[in-house]
Structure formats: C-alpha cells, structure tokens
Amino acid sequence: MKRYSICATLLTLILGTTLSVSAQNNTLPILDITPSARALAMGSHTVGLSKGMYIYTNPASFFYNSIGNFNVSYTGQLHSSLEGAGRLQYHALGAGYKTGRHAFLAGLRYMGGLEYNLDDGTTLSPGWFTTDLTYAAKIWHGLVTSVGASFIRSKYDTSAMTVGCNASLHYGDQIAWVGRSWDYTVGASVVGVGLPLNYGDDRPKVDIPIRTDIGGEIATDIATDHRLSMAMATQLYVFPTQTQSVSVSGGMEYSFRRLCFVRGGYTHGQNDYRVASAGIGVSYRSFSIDATYHKILIEGGIGALTISIGHSF
C-alpha cells in the first residue's frame, strides 16, 4: 500500500477533495472530480441547474433544457505541473438522448499523466478510466430520478477493476416570490456504491469512497437582460470501513442576456479543506463553452484550468 500512499499524497496537493482527509484510503480520485466547468465554478457540487455533462452532474436538468433531444459535452482539466511527478490530466466525454419522460446517458472519463520515480528504480504511472451509463425518468411534473453504473479501471503498479452504482432524485419548478419568477431545483445524489478494488491476492482490498450531495440552485431575472443564480450544497464522503468527511459549498452566477456568464464559488470542509473557484462562459443557441480556474487552498496546493464544451440538438 505504500505506493498508493505516495501517489495519494501527490494527489492531495493537486486535487484536495477527500484525499485531504484520508489520502491513504482513496485510490479512485477520478470519482472526486466534477466534470463540468460551470458546476466546478459554483462550488463543485452536482445538484444545480446543469447545462451540460448531465450524466455527471444533474440528469434532471436534461429534461429542463428545452433545446433539442440530444446533448454532447466534453470537459478537459489541466493541472499545474508537480515537480518530479509530471502533470495530471483529466478528460471526460458525455452524451445523452431524451424521449418523452425517459433519458439515456453515457460517458467516458480518463485521468492520468503523473509519473513518480520510486526508490527501487521503478516508475509509478497511475491511471484511471471509467465507462458510465445512466437512465433517468421524469416521474411526475418536475420530479426526476436516475440510476446508473460505472465500470472502473484503476492502475498503479498493478490494475484493478470494479463496478460502482449511482442514484439521484431531483425536483425542479418555477415559483413566484417577492414579485419575481424564480427557477429552482433541489435534490440529492449518491455516487460510488460498489465493490471494493482488489489489486492482488497479497494486498488488502480497497473500498470505493461513497459521495452524497444534497442541495440545490435558484435563479431569477434581477433586471431586463440580467440574471442571477445561487447554489448551495453539502457533500458527505464515506469510506465504508474507515472514515468520512463533510464539506459545504456555495456559488453564484451572473448572466447577461443568458449569453455571457461570470461565476464564483467556494468550498470548505473538515481538516481545513478549502477550494476557491472562478469561471466564465458563453452560450449561443445550442452551443456553450465554459472555463473555470480553481485553487486548492492548502499548503503546497496547486490549481487547475477546466474547459467544458457542449452542444444540444
């Protein structure tokens, strides 16, 4: 397990996330990254009014989006280089199709690029890959539920494969309050319920971290052509046999004519885990592009640039 601990310590500086609480226990950091520049800019939660990457954020938002029945999204994340270990890269591709009250979503994720020279002269080059499938259904009015599965491959000096399941329940609607019309969504999601990883018969099995997000987002027009969105969520990370951590995140988005967007967010968790993020975006008809920079506010923590591109048709 020493090799996992070395790599996890490096990932703590790069990613933060649950690793700051239990670096030696999490060998699947790919599940901790939010593959949406918009969601990442607003606190890295998955329960807001998503505008793409529905399979990894809020599948219910796919039904709320009136543009087309198909969506394709790509997210790339480039981290600052880490001396002696290279540069971590992350790529995600998502697609979805909806018909009536049903939606079918699929996605691929890859994370890798680090190289760490060990004392015995060997090189550790960890990498992670997932294939993801999700089904979402509009049960009643704005109430949407989803279930999905992820087929996960994790590689250190040896490889392991497992299956993780996820589920979510969201409700979205529009209300009138203080003379304004408000769009909102509230919901909860659970990701990472699955079998432990087995890196070899001579090594202990490693549990998948389970992440639960609870929260929502509300948006209103504050003036002609000007719109404000606010999001708040809490995240609970649980390692089935070891430890857990809690974080709270929030963010805001200002948009002009729903074409140009400016965003900011902040996350605070246990063990002085803090992340600040800021982003911008442009949306024109069925196309959107968003960019976010986030910074891990721990000693030695570094930042990353995330770009998301989406198209609905």
Question: pLDDT tens digit string along 265-278?
Answer: 999 988 778 899 99
Domain definitions of the chain by residue range: 2-312
What pLDDT does residue 195 have? Answer: 84
What pLDDT does residue 298 have? Answer: 75
Question: What are the beta bridge partners of residue 95?
Answer: 72, 106
| pTM assigned to the model | 0.85
Question: pLDDT tens digit string along 113-146?
Answer: 877 776 776 777 888 999 999 999 999 888 999 9
Residue whose pair of structure tokens reads 């890859």 in the numeric block: 110
Question: What are the beta bridge partners of residue 130?
Answer: 109, 152
What architecture is domain 2-312? Beta Barrel (2.40)
- Residues in the chain, how many? 313
**SS3 at position 81:** coil
CA–CA separation, 82 and 11 (whole Å) = 10
Give the C-alpha distances (Å, rounded to integers) separating 119 from 8, 123, 124, 178. 17, 9, 11, 65
SS3 content of the chain, % helix, strand, coil (to 5): 10, 60, 30
Q: Among candidates 312, 307, 300, 259, which has minimal Cα distance to 83?
A: 300
CA–CA separation, 56 and 8 (whole Å) = 23
CA–CA separation, 112 and 184 (whole Å) = 36
Low-confidence ranges of the chain (pLDDT < 50): 1, 13, 17-25
